[in-house]
Chains A and B, each alone.
Chain A
Amino acid sequence: MLHVEHLNVAYDTLQVLWDVLLEVREGEIVALIGSNGAGKTTLLKTISGLMKPLYGSIRFMDETIAGLPPHDICQRGVIHVPEGRALFPRMRVIENLELGAYLPAARAQRHHMLERVYRLFPRLKERWRQDAGTLSGGEQQMVAIGRALMAQPKLLMLDEPSLGLAPVLTEAIMDVLAQLNAEGMTILLVSQEVQQALDIAHRAYVIENGRIVRSGPADELRADDAIRSAYLGL
C-alpha cells in the first residue's frame, strides 16, 4: 500500500533521514520505534507532505506522492495525526471533527462518520460544545484521532498518540487502534511506548540516527535481546 524507498530528507543543510526503506501493507499495523531524534517524526512529516524529500520515492497505492502538498496527500487517503495533536484550540470539539471531513468526498459522509467517532469515543459526544483547547490531554488525543477518522483514511499514521498520557489512557488508545485495525484500517504507528506498540503491531521498523536498522515481525523484535535491552528496559 505504502512504499518508501531510498528516502533522504534534510532540514536545510542538516540531513536527518538516510536511505530509508519502509513498506506498509494493506490491513497491517506497522510500528516505527526509535529513540528521540532518530527521525520518526520527520519520516511521517515527509510522507504526509509537510516536508519535501531531498531524494527518494514515496508511493501510495501505486501513485507517487513524494513532494505533493499535504492537502493533496490527504485527499488520497493518507491521514497523519501529528505529534502534539495540532488541534484547533479555540474551536469546539464538533468543529474540529467536522474540519477533518473538509474534503468533498469525506464531507458527503460526515454525519455517518461522526456517529462512528462518537461510538468509538463516547466522551467526545458529551463534550461536543467545548473548545478543544480546554480538554484534558487524553480527550484531546481522542479529538485528534476522531478528526483523522472523519477524513476516511485508507492509511492512518499516528505520531506518539500516547505521549504524556496516563498508562490507563495509553492502553485505551492502543485498544482503539487495535479495534480500528480489526475493522480493516491500515495503521502506521510511531510510539515510544515500545512494549504496547509491539503488542498490537504486525511488523515493526527500528530507526536509529536517521537510518532503518532493523525490521521484521513484531513478535520477533519483541523477543530480540538487543531490542529488549535498548527499548524495553529488560
Chain B
Amino acid sequence: MLYELAQSLTSGLLIGGALAVLSVGFSMAWGITHVLNVAHCAFAVLAAYLGYWALNRWGIDPLLALPIMLPAFFLLGVAMHTLLIRATARRAHDLGLATMVLTFGLGVVMENGMLLAWTPDPRVLKTAYSALTLRVGPVIVQAPHLIAFGLAVITIGALYLFAERTFMGKAVRAVWQQPMGAALSGIDLDRVTTIAYGMAVATAAVGGVAMSLLYTFDPATHLSWLVYVFLVVILGGVGSMLGSALAGLIIGLIIGISSVFIPLAWNNLVLSGLLIVLLLLRPQGLLQR
C-alpha cells in the first residue's frame, strides 16, 4: 500500500506538471486579456497532432518540433487576437462571455477540421523514449512523464522570468492588475494584450505536446482536457502563473492519491466536486501574483 502510494504520488506530481503547463496560458489569457478561450485545449490537441505528424512523417521528435511550433502558435494567437477578439471587444459589454461563445465556436471548427484531417481514431505517441523507465528507490518513473514535467518547468520558469525581469513582462502584469494605471503610464494596452495572448496560445503548444507524451488523444479530447484546465486555473487564481504551477501539481497529486483509493471512473466526480467546493470557499484562487 505504501509503495503503491509513493508510486502514485510520483506519477501524479509529474502529470500535475503537464496539467500546469496546459493551463498556464488559459489562465494568462483569462486574467490578462479577459479572453475566456475555451478553444485553448483545441490548440493543444492541434499541437499534439502536429508533433505526432512530425514524428511519423518525418521522424522528427515532437520535442524538436516544438521550437518551430512555438513561434507559429504565437503568431496564430496574435492573428486571432487582432482579427477576432479586438473586433469582439469593440462590440461586447462582457468580453469574457462574448469570447467564451466565440472560442466555443472556434473549438468546434477546429475539432471538426482535425476530424477531417486525422480521423477520430485515438493516437498514441510512440517516441524513442516511450518505453524508458527510471528507478528511483522503489519508485519507477517513466521517461515521458519526466520529460513532460521538464517541459512544464522550463516553460513556466521562462514565463515567470519574463514577467518578473523584463519591462514587457512587467507591463503585462501591470495591465492585469490595473489597466487604467497601465494606460496612463504609457503602456499600449492593445499591443501588450495581443502579445500576452500570443504567448498564451504558444504555451498551449507546449501543453499539448506534454499531454500527448502521457495520454492518447483524438480531436474531441480537448474538452476533457478543458475540465482539468478550468480546475487548475480556478484553484491557482486566474491570471497567476505561479498559481497555475502550484495548482497543477496539487491537482496532479489529488489524481495520484485518488487513483489508489477510489475507482478510476470516479476520478472526474472527485475533481468536479472539488471545483464546486473551491468556488464556494475560495473563488479568488490560491495566488494573486
Contact = CB atoms under 8 A, between A and B. Distances in A.
Given A88-B173, A90-B288, A107-B167, A71 B180 contact: no
Contacts of B288: 90
A227 to B, nearest CB: 31
B181 A87 contact: yes
Contacts of B173: 88, 90-91
B187 A102 contact: yes
B289 interface: yes
B180 A86 contact: yes
A70 B184 contact: yes
Interface string B165-185: 001001101100110111111
A102 B180 contact: no
A79 B170 contact: no
The secondary-structure label for the interface of chain B is helix
A106 B184 contact: no
Interface in A36-51: 48-50
Interface in A46-83: 48-50, 69-71, 74-75, 79-82
A100 B177 contact: no
Nearest to B191: A71
Contacts of A102: 167, 171, 185-187
B188 interface: yes
Interface residues of B, number: 20
B65 interface: no
Contacts of B185: 74, 99-100, 102, 147, 151
Contact of B180 (A50, A103, A107): A50
Interface residues of A, number: 29
- Of B170, B185, B189, most buried by chain A (CB within 10 Å of CB) is B185
29 contacts: A50-B180, A50-B184, A69-B188, A69-B189, A71-B183, A71-B188, A75-B186, A79-B184, A80-B184, A81-B184, A82-B180, A82-B181, A86-B180, A86-B181, A87-B178, A87-B181, A88-B173, A89-B177, A90-B173, A90-B288, A90-B289, A91-B173, A95-B170, A99-B185, A100-B185, A102-B167, A103-B186, A107-B167, A147-B185
Interface of A: 48-50, 69-71, 74-75, 79-82, 85-91, 95, 98-100, 102-103, 106-107, 147, 151
